Structure 1
Amino acid sequence: MTRAAVLGAGSWGTTFAKVLADAGCEVVLHARRAELAKAITEDGENRDYLPGVRLPERLRATADPGEALLDAQVVVLAVPSQSLRDNLASWRDLLPPDATLLSLMKGIELGSTKRMSEVICEVTGAGPERVAALSGPNLAREIAEEQPAATVIACSDADRAAVLQAACHTRYFRPYTNPDVVGCELGGAVKNVIALACGIAEGLGFGDNTRASLMTRGLAETARLGLALGAELTTFAGLAGLGDLVATCSSPLSRNRTFGEKLGRGMTVEEVQQSTRQTAEGVKSCRSVLDLARAHGIDVPITEAVVRVCHEGEAPGRMVREIMSREAKPE
């Protein structure tokens, strides 16, 4: 039986812990707050993030990272992307030496513009063959309710990818493997930014044509950046690219789309942040995605527009007008 530690007891971390347990793993979920860990273990439910979802008996929670990581063969990292480095620094000495490190995070680090797998390797000293990333159309609530979904596990080591695939394959959750870590991570990070743009358009009252246009052109700028970084073009047509983009840009369950919709309706970034306990990764990552694109000379107009709205005070309506008034050119 695979022993897995899931570090991060938010909605996605808890959901993936449930998936692992349903697939037959022994799972320990680490929650930062002791009272939350106690409630999850005693009640079999994470009422803070997944109210109404029953968790398997073989899943238990703890606030002690050492207890969670003891003898773990798989370590799942499910914390906000911008807090990963600091969290890893405190957990580094507790990590089992040959454990596979699986990232559920979809972001690019501010300042360094590193992908999450790069941060993991840098902080822990693990080789890239030990690090994997999971990405796809994976809205936590639907998966927690056991609605059918597929995902991608990206890892340069095919054997480790296969072990992870078996560890989380259930009747409702179907994982595929892919060696393209760069493409899978980039697709997961940039789609959050495009979802913000789609949410803004929704909040402004625009319809399906606008959303479809933003999604399609957003996929184009994701692919341009991905190719410059060495990703495979086919990745962006798959679950970690188009699949994740469609779900995140279209669903009211999407944190980033919902955040953007509130901006489009006139709320400020600060007001939206105060109204939710969930992390919309794209709000911070849009700046690092833009920095990464500029460093490689890649044009990312939708990302630029989202940065202006989220961090430079531009009115959402002006954002849409500026995108539409760009110079016409071949697709």
Structure 2
Amino acid sequence: MKHSPVSGSPISHKVRPYSRVAVIGAGSWGTALAVTLAQAGCKTMIYGRDPAVIDEINSNATTQRFLPGVTLPKGIFGVKDMAFALERSEAVLIVVPSRSVRNVARQVAAHVPKGTPIAVCAKGIEPETGLLMTQVAEEELGDHPVGCVSGPTFALETAMGHPTAATVAFPFTYADRLKPHESPAARLAVSLTTESFRAYVSDDLVGVEIGGAVKNIIAIACGLMTGAGFAENTRAALITRGLDEMKALAVALGGRRETVTGLSGIGDLALTCASPTSRNMALGQQLGQGRARADCFDGKPVVVEGEMNAKSVTDLARSLNVAMPICETVRAILHEGAELGTAFASLWARPIEAEPRTMELSFDHPATDQDIATLAERIS
């Protein structure tokens, strides 16, 4: 960004928002983003697979299944033909579950005009490849700027106009550095900004995406211990040490620690770990109360991103030799049959370490086997 030769402060530029944006995915978050774009003045086409959802958007300006009680603003047009939406848009948001990003990106690639910027609004790491969601999309999309939108955002609150902030991240080319006000990140950030939604710009895709992937796992950990009857001290410890795990993985992949202390890191972590509105927190709570996985969410097949990411994130961390003990504990409970009390008691009895990591201290925890067994029984 250019600076004033006198004051050294950044020079403000007028940024052109996109006039037409396609949102691929008509679920709760996709529709909330469409609401925000329309309120900011963008003509917004939202594509969804369910014809009934699209018909309701166009006929009633509502989507009761995903955003109950919200009246959608003018400027949102539901479409049943993905190609129609893509061919008429200047920018695209892919807003689908992480497991669907590759397939949807492949479909988008067949119709989107060359060079159109595309933001992926899914959080996670692909299990088979260890790739971040933007990397998955890049493999399928080819010659397009690919970025992401991430931050502490519950869809319903966003659509209702609660003051909300998020990060728009894209790589910055040499041309973007010279004219940052013309970059995809800046233009999309302005396209999303309203009186209630505030967007920030980042060039650190790795840091932003790692925050979004890891926070879901930590939220499950917080839910597990909340469901088991523990309270604020425990959750604060998990959030703080979970943030440290998030930073370690981001830095190992080339991200910046500063990014992880921003909206897409600690911001999203704090939100997701603090409320059962989060499906990750809710899953943990129900499991911590002793429910079988099949009985959670009243037996409904609810997608919980952190459940899958508990494996993909720890697989990636293991390949990089990055220690993530909280994430490993969640993985052991969800996927390896570990008992809740024993797993968390063992986590608490790990060797004593230093804060910060740069001190590189480690020594044995003084707890006896009986101490660990007592804590495990209390948790269970």
Q: TM-score range by the shorter chain?
A: over 0.9
2:66 pairs with one of 49, 60, 72:
49
2:198 aligned counterpart, secondary structure: strand
- Equivalent residue for 1:206? 230
- Measure how far apart 1:277 and its partner are: 5.5
Aligned counterparts of 2:334 and 2:78: Cα–Cα separation in 1: 36
Amino acid at match of 2:213: A
1:247 pairs with one of 268, 271, 274:
271
- Equivalent residue for 1:78? 95
Amino acid at match of 1:39: E
Aligned counterparts of 1:273 and 1:283: Cα–Cα separation in 2: 14
Aligned counterparts of 1:262 and 1:63: Cα–Cα separation in 2: 37
Identity between Structure 1 and Structure 2 (%):
39
2:241 aligned counterpart, secondary structure: helix
Aligned counterparts of 1:9 and 1:278: Cα–Cα separation in 2: 16
Aligned counterparts of 1:240 and 1:195: Cα–Cα separation in 2: 14
- Measure how far apart 1:60 and its partner are: 1.4
- Equivalent residue for 2:201? 177
Aligned residues: 329
- Runs of 4+ displaced beyond 4 Å: none
Amino acid at match of 2:113: P
Is 1:216 matched with 2:240? yes
- Measure how far apart 1:276 and its partner are: 4.1
Unaligned 5+ runs, structure 2:
1-17, 173-179, 356-380
> Contact 1:120–1:126 at 8 Å: present in 2 too?
no
Aligned counterparts of 2:84 and 2:303: Cα–Cα separation in 1: 26
Aligned counterparts of 1:96 and 1:281: Cα–Cα separation in 2: 30
Matching of residues 1-331 of structure 1 within 5 Å: 2-127=19-144, 130-157=145-172, 158=180, 159-272=183-296, 275-276=299-300, 278-331=302-355
Aligned counterparts of 2:217 and 2:280: Cα–Cα separation in 1: 7
Aligned counterparts of 1:156 and 1:232: Cα–Cα separation in 2: 14
1:106 aligned counterpart, secondary structure: coil
Unaligned 5+ runs, structure 1:
none
Aligned counterparts of 1:278 and 1:161: Cα–Cα separation in 2: 32
Residue by residue over 1:30-73, the C-alpha shift from the partner in whole angstroms, topping out at 9 and shown as x without a partner, is: 11111111111111111111111110121011221112212211
2:352 aligned counterpart, secondary structure: coil
Of structures 1 and 2, the larger Rg is shown by 2
- Measure how far apart 1:327 and its partner are: 1.5
- Measure how far apart 1:314 and its partner are: 1.9
